[in-house]
Chains A and B, each alone.
Chain A
Amino acid sequence: MPGFKTFTGTAAVLDRDNVDTDQIIPKQFLKRVERNGFGKYLFFDWRFNRDGSLNPEFELNRPEAAGAEILLAGDNFGCGSSREHAPWALKDYGFKVIVAPEYADIFYNNSLKNGILVIKLPAETINSMKDRVAAGDQKLTVSLDRQEILSGEEVLASFPFDPYWKEMIQNGWDEISITLKYEDAISRYEEQQQSAKQLQL
C-alpha cells in the first residue's frame, strides 16, 4: 500500500449522524469475493434512483462534490455491520480522508487498515469547515506529518492521531509483516498457555 502524502483536495459534506455501513454499502454487493471495484456501489440506495439514474438531491451527487477526496461526516460514522466493504467502497470511490466527531470502532479500525485517514475533531470544528465548504471554499489540504487540516496557509484544525497508526499509514506498511517479526513471542505464548491448545474438533 502506498504511504499517505500531504495533498490538497476537494471536500464534500455528508451532514447526517449515525451513518451505518448498510448505507455506505448495501448488502447485495457483499457477495463478491474481490477487494476492489466497490466504489460504484458506494451509498447505493442514496445515490441512485430506482431506475438507476443519479439522485440529484444526494449530497455527493451535487456538482460541487465531484471528485471529492475528503469527506466531512457526522457523528458515529460507520456504525453497525463490520463489513470492510464500507472502507473499500469509500477508498475506491476516491476518499482518502474522513473527518467526523466519532466513528464506530470496527469501521475506524477497518479504515486505518486500508490507509484511509480517519480524523476525529469536535463537531463545532467540523461545522465551521462545513460552512466554508458550503460557501464555496472547498479545497482543503491535509497533512498527516503536521497533523493539520489547512485552507491555503491557514490552519483550520490540528488533529490528534495515534502514533502507531501514524507511522503505519505514512509508510503504507503491511501490518502482518510486522507481526510476523514477533513469531517467536507468539510461539512462546502458545507453549505457556492452555488456552492456545488445540480445539480438538
Chain B
Amino acid sequence: MAKTIIDKVWEKHTVMQEDNKPGLLYIDLHLLHEVTSPQAFAGLREKNRPVRRPDLCFATMDHNIPTKNRFVIDDSIALKQIQTLEQNCKEYGIHLEGLESEHQGIVHVIGPELGLTLPGKTIVCGDSHTSTHGAFGALAFGIGTSEVEHVLATQTLWQQKPKQLKVNIEGKRGFGVTAKDIILALIAQYGTNAGAGHVIEFTGETVRSFTMEERMTLCNMSIEAGAKAGLVAPDETTFEYIKGRKYAPQGEQFEEKMKEWSALCSDADAKYDKVIEINAAEVEPMVTWGTNPSMGVGISGNVPSYTNEQTQQEKEALQKALQYMGLNPGQSLTEVPVQHVFIGSCTNSRISDLRAAAKVVKGKKVHGAVQAIVVPGSQQVKVKAEQEGLHLVFQEAGFDWRDSGCSMCLGMNPDIVPEGERCASTSNRNFEGRQGKGARTHLVSPEMAAAAAIEGKFTDVRKFQSGSRDGEQYARI
C-alpha cells in the first residue's frame, strides 16, 4: 500500500501496537527547557525513577532569561527555575547549553543549527512550537509536562496515529512575500483548527523552493493551524543545510545517511485524510488584526466589518477582538500606529530573517514613537549577524540589539509590551495578554516589522523595494 512520509516515520518508530490501543512510539530526541521540565524531574524523583536515555536528551534555557544583562536575573522565581534545570541536568547527566554557552538559544533554533534535528527522527519537547523541526522531515511535536516525564522515564509515548493533511503550495510568490505570510494566509483562510487531529505534510513547488529557514517558519506555525505537527520531506536543500553541522553525521556516515533520507518521501499515490491547495501567487504581506492567528488580512485589506452572513456568536467574537485590539470595523491597517516592534522568536529570528529586516532598515531611522528590539534566535545567530555588521545597521537605525531568548514572544522575561500599546511582532501568537497584560499584538514577517518600525505604523513593505528574499541562501553558522 502506498505510504506517506508520516506513515513511514511512524512505522519505523512503533515499538509495539496492540489492537484498539494507542501505539508505543519511540522518541529519538528529547529537547528540554526550564519552564516545562521541573515538575517532570520532580515526578521522577518522587518515584525514584532514572532517566532511561539521558544521551537522547538535550537541554537549554530560553523562555524566561533576560536578553539584556543576561546574567543578572532579578526575578527570584525565574532564577530558581533556571537553577532547577541546571541541577536536574547535572543530576541526571543531561547535556545542557546554559546561559554561558556559545550555543545557547531558543530550543527550536539551536536544534537545527547544531545538527541535532535530522530527517526521519521523532522529536519532542515540552513546547508547542516543536513542530518547527518538521522542516527537516522529522516527526516533531509539542508535549505537556506529564509526557516529558514519561519520555524521560521510558523514551517512548503512547500515541494514537493522527490523521494526515496535505497542504500543497504552488505558484510563485510575489515580491516581499515570505513563508510567514503564506502560513498566516493559510490560517486566515482555513482557521486555527484547520489541522486539528492531523499532521500536515507541506508539499508543492513553492515549498521546494523555500530555504530551510523558510521551511522552519512554515512548520513552526503548523500548531497555529491546530495541527499536531507539520513537516516537509527532505531534499538536497535539507542535506546541504545539515552537512558539516556540529552534531550531524560526518563524512562517510553522512553519505550513508543521505541515501536513507533520500527515500524518505510520500509515495506518489499515497492517500491523505484531507488536502488543501494554496496559490502562493495570491498571497500578499499579511498583518493580523485580532486575538488569534486566523484573524489576519493582507496589508492592502481592511479590518473586517459586521455582515449579515455572520452568526451572532461570530459577531460577538469579532466585537470582543476589536475591542481588545482597539480597532474599528472596516479600518485600514495602514492607518494603525505601532509603539513597539519585536523582531525575534522561534518563528522568525534566524540569520535570513535578520538579513531581510536589515535590508529594509538600512540607512533609515526608527520612528520617534517606536521602541524596537531585535532578539537573535541563538547566540550563534547573534555572532554571525555581528560578523556581517547587521547589528550596526539595526543600532544605527535606533533598534536595541539583544542576546538570544524567547523574549517578547511571550513576555516571561522583562521584555513585555505595556497595557494598551501595540506591537508589530514577528512571533507566532497574538492572543490576549500574550506579550503583556492588555498588550496588542500584530503578527507580521520580519520585513513588515522592519517597515513598521521605520514608518511608525503598518505599511506595505513592497514600497521599500528591498523586501525580496529570492535567491537568498541560508547562512552556514
Residues of A within 8 A of B (CB): 15-18, 20, 22-23, 26-28, 30-35, 45, 75-76, 79-84, 87, 102, 104-106, 109-110, 113-114, 162-164, 175-176, 179-180, 182-183, 185-186, 189-190, 193, 195-196, 198-201
Query: Is B238 in contact with chain A by the CB < 8 A criterion?
Result: no
Collect the chain B residues with CB atoms within 8 Å of residue A176's CB: 47, 49, 149-150, 153-154
Docked CA distance A163–B22 (Å): 10
Contact A33 B84 (CB under 8 A): yes
Collect the chain B residues with CB atoms within 8 Å of residue A198's CB: 55-56
Contact A199 B39 (CB under 8 A): no
Docked CA distance A109–B158 (Å): 11
Collect the chain A residues with CB atoms within 8 Å of residue B104's CB: none
Q: Could you tell me the distance in whole angstroms from the C-beta of B351 to the nearest C-beta in chain A?
A: 24
| Interface-centre pick from B49, B55, B153, B433 (highest chain A CB count, 10 A) | B433
Query: Is B28 in contact with chain A by the CB < 8 A criterion?
Result: yes
Query: Is B445 in contact with chain A by the CB < 8 A criterion?
Result: no
Contact A179 B26 (CB under 8 A): no
Docked CA distance A15–B313 (Å): 9
Query: Is B235 in contact with chain A by the CB < 8 A criterion?
Result: no
Docked CA distance A180–B12 (Å): 21
Docked CA distance A183–B29 (Å): 18
Q: Could you tell me the distance in whole angstroms from the C-beta of A184 to the nearest C-beta in chain B?
A: 10
Interface string of B32-50 (1 = CB under 8 A from A): 0001101100110001010
Collect the chain A residues with CB atoms within 8 Å of residue B437's CB: 26, 45
Collect the chain B residues with CB atoms within 8 Å of residue A76's CB: 192-193, 196, 226
Give 4 closest A-B pairs by Cβ, nearest first: A110-B144, A33-B38, A84-B144, A113-B146
Contact B143 A35 (CB under 8 A): no
Query: Is B116 in contact with chain A by the CB < 8 A criterion?
Result: yes
Name the one of B15, B78, B247, B292 contacting A189, with C-beta atoms under 8 angstroms.
B15
Docked CA distance A102–B192 (Å): 12
Contact B142 A35 (CB under 8 A): no
Docked CA distance A52–B160 (Å): 43
Q: B191: nearest residue on chain A (CB-CB)? A: A76
Q: Which of B1-48 contact A (CB under 8 A)?
A: 12-13, 15-16, 20-22, 24, 26, 28-29, 35-36, 38-39, 42-43, 47
Name the one of B24, B145, B410, B433 contacting A45, with C-beta atoms under 8 angstroms.
B433
Collect the chain B residues with CB atoms within 8 Å of residue A183's CB: 154
Q: Could you tell me the distance in whole angstroms from the C-beta of A73 to the nearest C-beta in chain B?
A: 13
Instruction: Please judge, given known A-B contacts A20-B292, A76-B193, whether A164 and B13 are in contact too, CB under 8 Å.
Output: no
Q: Which of B396-444 contact A (CB under 8 A)?
A: 410-412, 429, 431-434, 437
25 contacts between A and B (CB under 8 A): A30-B63, A31-B78, A35-B145, A75-B193, A79-B226, A80-B429, A80-B431, A81-B410, A82-B128, A83-B35, A84-B36, A84-B144, A104-B196, A105-B196, A106-B144, A109-B147, A175-B150, A176-B154, A179-B24, A179-B154, A182-B15, A182-B16, A193-B26, A199-B247, A201-B247
Docked CA distance A80–B129 (Å): 9
Instruction: Please judge, given known A-B contacts A79-B226, A176-B154, A199-B58, whether A22 and B429 are in contact too, CB under 8 Å.
Output: yes
Instruction: Please judge, given known A-B contacts A23-B432, A76-B192, A79-B193, whether A16 and B128 are in contact too, CB under 8 Å.
Output: no
Collect the chain A residues with CB atoms within 8 Å of residue B26's CB: 186, 189-190, 193, 195-196
Query: Is B268 in contact with chain A by the CB < 8 A criterion?
Result: no
Collect the chain A residues with CB atoms within 8 Å of residue B47's CB: 176
Q: Which of B308-358 contact A (CB under 8 A)?
A: 313, 317, 320
Collect the chain A residues with CB atoms within 8 Å of residue B197's CB: 105
Contact B154 A106 (CB under 8 A): no
Docked CA distance A15–B312 (Å): 12
Query: Is B75 in contact with chain A by the CB < 8 A criterion?
Result: yes
Query: Is B215 in contact with chain A by the CB < 8 A criterion?
Result: no
Contact B429 A201 (CB under 8 A): no
Contact B22 A84 (CB under 8 A): no
Query: Is B217 in contact with chain A by the CB < 8 A criterion?
Result: no
Interface string of B101-143 (1 = CB under 8 A from A): 0000000000000001000111000111000000000000011
Q: B15: nearest residue on chain A (CB-CB)? A: A189
Docked CA distance A160–B106 (Å): 39
Docked CA distance A17–B191 (Å): 12
Contact B147 A113 (CB under 8 A): yes
Q: Could you tell me the distance in whole angstroms from the C-beta of B377 to the nearest C-beta in chain A?
A: 18
Collect the chain B residues with CB atoms within 8 Å of residue A190's CB: 26, 155
Instruction: Add 10 more A-B contacts to A23-B433, A186-B156 (CB < 8 A).
Output: A18-B317, A23-B432, A26-B433, A31-B75, A79-B292, A80-B128, A179-B156, A186-B52, A186-B154, A201-B58
Query: Is B81 in contact with chain A by the CB < 8 A criterion?
Result: yes
Contact A185 B15 (CB under 8 A): yes
Collect the chain A residues with CB atoms within 8 Å of residue B16's CB: 182, 185
Q: Could you tell me the distance in whole angstroms from the C-beta of A130 to the nearest C-beta in chain B?
A: 12
Docked CA distance A34–B39 (Å): 6
Query: Is B476 in contact with chain A by the CB < 8 A criterion?
Result: no
Docked CA distance A196–B156 (Å): 11
Docked CA distance A31–B162 (Å): 32
Docked CA distance A71–B124 (Å): 30
| Interface-centre pick from A17, A27, A162, A176 (highest chain B CB count, 10 A) | A27
Docked CA distance A30–B35 (Å): 7
Docked CA distance A164–B24 (Å): 13
Q: Could you tell me the distance in whole angstroms from the C-beta of B37 to the nearest C-beta in chain A?
A: 9
Contact B410 A82 (CB under 8 A): no
Contact A82 B432 (CB under 8 A): no
Contact B128 A35 (CB under 8 A): no
Q: Could you tell me the distance in whole angstroms from the C-beta of B157 to the nearest C-beta in chain A?
A: 9
Q: Could you tell me the distance in whole angstroms from the C-beta of B206 to the nearest C-beta in chain A?
A: 26
Instruction: Please judge, given known A-B contacts A113-B146, A199-B58, whether A31 and B81 are in contact too, CB under 8 Å.
Output: yes
